[in-house]
Amino acid sequence: TKSDLRSDHTYFTREMGVEIRERVRMMHALRAAFEAERLYIVYQPQVEIGSGKPFGVEALLRWKNDDGELIPPDQFIPIAEYSGLIVNIGEWVLRTACFELVRISELGFQQFRMAVNVSQAQFMHPLFLQMLKRALTDSGISPQNLELEITESMAMTDPELVIANLEKIKEMGVRISIDDFGTGFSSLSQLQKLKVNKLKIDRAFINDICIGTDEGSIAKMIIELSQSLQLEVIAEGVENQLQADTLRTFGCHHAQGFLFAKPKNKNDLYSWLEQHI
């Protein structure tokens, strides 16, 4: 009936109002935290599976709110994207990570890689390439030691722009990795056009990777795909030795995960690196 419809409608908008208010509140808090320099970055080592030796790190953003609680990036990154805050925050992450790489190389780690997540709104921004160039020149790092992690879904929204941008990034010498690979339904022909350097197998396929499982078959297929396209491959979310061993059997020799190291603040990273030199 008509009255049912109306009450449904009010219920719906009230719920939406709560959600929008909550998002707006979080957006203001995030902006304030960013301006007060209360966001920080942790670094998770990426290692050679056999030796456990690190060859790079991934920069991961952290936000501790006024109550000292950590808000997971999965919650605040979407808000940063949606509000456009990600453009400035992302630039800060990239620059900070580049300067951190300089520190790491001063510790004796040459040819070390820094992987930085780049979200869609940031990548599509008209000034992104300029910002990237500035981060490289200001820090003085070698472009081939920087790796941008983008997602498959990003490439699907505006393939032409993405391909054009990727080509320019490649000309600069910066590397590109496809994050969460296998979850985004990009076609193989698209993958070939993107000319990326690396596939990062999503954690979902690593969880139950042991031989014989569906997840295992998918991980194996991604590893074989990377071999035939001559791309590098890394597995994320490796938590136990069985997963690590299976990956090696499948031909994947690079991993990131709690088995090897959790994300660390920079001082903990320095001491961890010194023990793993």
In whole angstroms, the minimum distance from the beta carbon of 4 to ligand C2E comes to 41
| Residue among 263, 264, 269, 273 that touches ligand C2E (CB under 6 A) | 263
Q: Work out whether 179 is an interface residue with ligand C2E (CB under 6 A).
A: yes
Region 42-71 residues binding ligand C2E, contact defined as CB under 6 A:
44, 60-61
Q: Work out whether 146 is an interface residue with ligand C2E (CB under 6 A).
A: no
Q: Express the helix, strand and coil content of the chain in percent, nearest 5 each.
A: 55, 20, 25
Q: Judged by CB, which is closer to Ca ion: 100, or 180? A: 180
Q: Which does 257 bind (CB under 5 to 8 A by kind): ligand C2E, Ca ion, none?
A: ligand C2E
| Residue among 180, 216, 247, 269 that touches Ca ion (CB under 5 A) | 180
Backbone φ, ψ for residue 200 (5° rounding): -115, 110
Task: Report d(CA 198, CA 219) in Å as an integer.
Answer: 14
Task: Report d(CA 195, CA 178) in Å as an integer.
Answer: 10
Q: Judged by CB, which is closer to ligand C2E: 117, or 139? A: 117
Q: Judged by CB, which is closer to ligand C2E: 145, or 256? A: 256
Task: Report d(CA 148, CA 241) in Å as an integer.
Answer: 28
Q: Which residues pair with 70 in a beta bridge?
A: 64
Q: Work out whether 147 is an interface residue with Ca ion (CB under 5 A).
A: no
Buried b (16+ CB within 10 A) or exposed e, 191-201: beebebbbbbb
In whole angstroms, the minimum distance from the beta carbon of 201 to Ca ion comes to 9
Instruction: For residue 41, give the nearest of 244, 202, 267 by alpha carbon.
Output: 267
Q: Work out whether 152 is an interface residue with ligand C2E (CB under 6 A).
A: no
Task: Report d(CA 185, CA 248) in Å as an integer.
Answer: 25
Q: Are 259 and 222 in contact (CB under 8 A)?
A: no
Residues 6 or more apart whose Cβ sits within 8 Å of residue 198: 147, 175, 176, 177, 178, 226, 231, 232, 233, 234
| Residue among 57, 244, 257, 273 that touches ligand C2E (CB under 6 A) | 257
Task: Report d(CA 55, CA 102) in Å as an integer.
Answer: 14
**Segment contacting Ca ion (CB under 5 A): 1-9, 68-76, 140-148, 176-184?**
176-184
Q: Work out whether 152 is an interface residue with Ca ion (CB under 5 A).
A: no
Region 108-137 residues binding ligand C2E, contact defined as CB under 6 A:
117, 119
| Residue among 237, 244, 246, 269 that touches ligand C2E (CB under 6 A) | 237
Q: Work out whether 246 is an interface residue with ligand C2E (CB under 6 A).
A: no
Q: Work out whether 258 is an interface residue with ligand C2E (CB under 6 A).
A: yes
Q: Work out whether 245 is an interface residue with ligand C2E (CB under 6 A).
A: no
In the complex, which residues of this chain contact ligand C2E (CB under 6 A)?
44, 60-61, 72-74, 77, 90, 93, 117, 119, 179-180, 236-239, 256-258, 263
